[in-house]
Amino acid sequence: MKSHPPENETDPPISASAARRTQARIELRAKILAAAAELFIARGYEGLSMRQLGERIGYSPATIYLHFANKDALLLALLSDGYNELGRRLAAVAAATHDPLERIAAVGRAYVAFGREQPMHYQLMFMRRADVLRERLAERSERVDAFQVLQLTVTQAQAAGVLQPGDTLAISLTLWATVHGMVGLFLVGPPLPEAQIQVTIETTIAGILYGLAKEGLR
């Protein structure tokens, strides 16, 4: 940013046609990504072709290549969007909740809600192997890491004396596994009525938090 000339106090007006073009680009990008997510999940990384993807959404492969150079770029964009969105949401919920135990519960509920609202992203992010790409993502240090948000809430609750002291990583993994397991069952397991899902979410989060609370285990 430093090499750019200083910006004006107010941004210059954007012409209506430029705004429309930008909007169309954003919409097409989202459309390509949504179709790619479905195909990645149905057919795996190897099974997806740019031609097939184009047929699915009614555009030529050439149009898709204007937005994404190859399959890796597509998958990377999907994962990057997903991890960023999840990290932002959890950070916002954590920042908005004062009580340290309730903060963990709120982060847990937000995690489950994200998985249910973004099932395709969630499955790609956490229910498929994509090790190489994940390593490349990890190098992008600017992103808000959802797991770091969770670990921070655990550290804060331990510091406040309401969560058992000790292995912060194990407790954070336990909490992650707990909410991840619910999302997995809700997305792929037997169909359940919404009321049963809600009771299960509350029973699970309250159960694990009570079990891990300071008065809990040993």
Q: Which is nearer to a second copy, 57 or 184 (CB)?
A: 184
Applying CB under 8 A, does 133 fall inside the site for a second copy?
A: no
Nearest distance from C-beta of residue 34 to a second copy, angstroms:
18
Nearer to a second copy, 26 or 42 (CB): 42
Residue 34, token pair as written in the block: 């949504």
Does 42 bind a second copy (CB under 8 A)? Our answer is yes
Q: Which is nearer to a second copy, 61 or 189 (CB)?
A: 189
Q: From CA 89, how far away is CA 99, in angstroms rounded?
A: 18
CA-nearest of 97, 82, 88, 112 to 178 is: 112
User: Which residues ranging from 148 to 167 are in contact with a second copy (CB under 8 A)?
Assistant: 167
Closer residue to a second copy in complex, CB, 92/144: 144
What's the min distance (Å) between Cβ of 114 and a second copy? Answer: 15
Please tell me whether residue 90 binds a second copy under the rule CB under 8 A.
no
Provide, rounded to whole angstroms, the least separation between the CB of residue 112 and a second copy: 10
- Kindly write down the DSSP assignment for every residue of 188-214, as one continuous string: HSS---HHHHHHHHHHHHHHHHHHHBT
- CA dist list (Å): 31 to 28, 54, 74, 112, 138: 5, 11, 12, 24, 25
106 makes contact with a second copy (CB under 8 A): no
Interatomic CA distance for residues 186 and 115, integer angstroms: 9
Q: Report which of 91, 98, 188 is spatially closest to residue 147, judged by C-alpha positions.
A: 91
Which residues on neighbouring strands pair with residue 163, listed in sequence order?
213
Which residues of this chain interact with a second copy, rule CB under 8 A?
41-44, 46-47, 126-129, 134, 167, 169-171, 173-174, 176-182, 184-185, 188-190, 192, 196, 199-200, 203-204, 206-212, 216-217
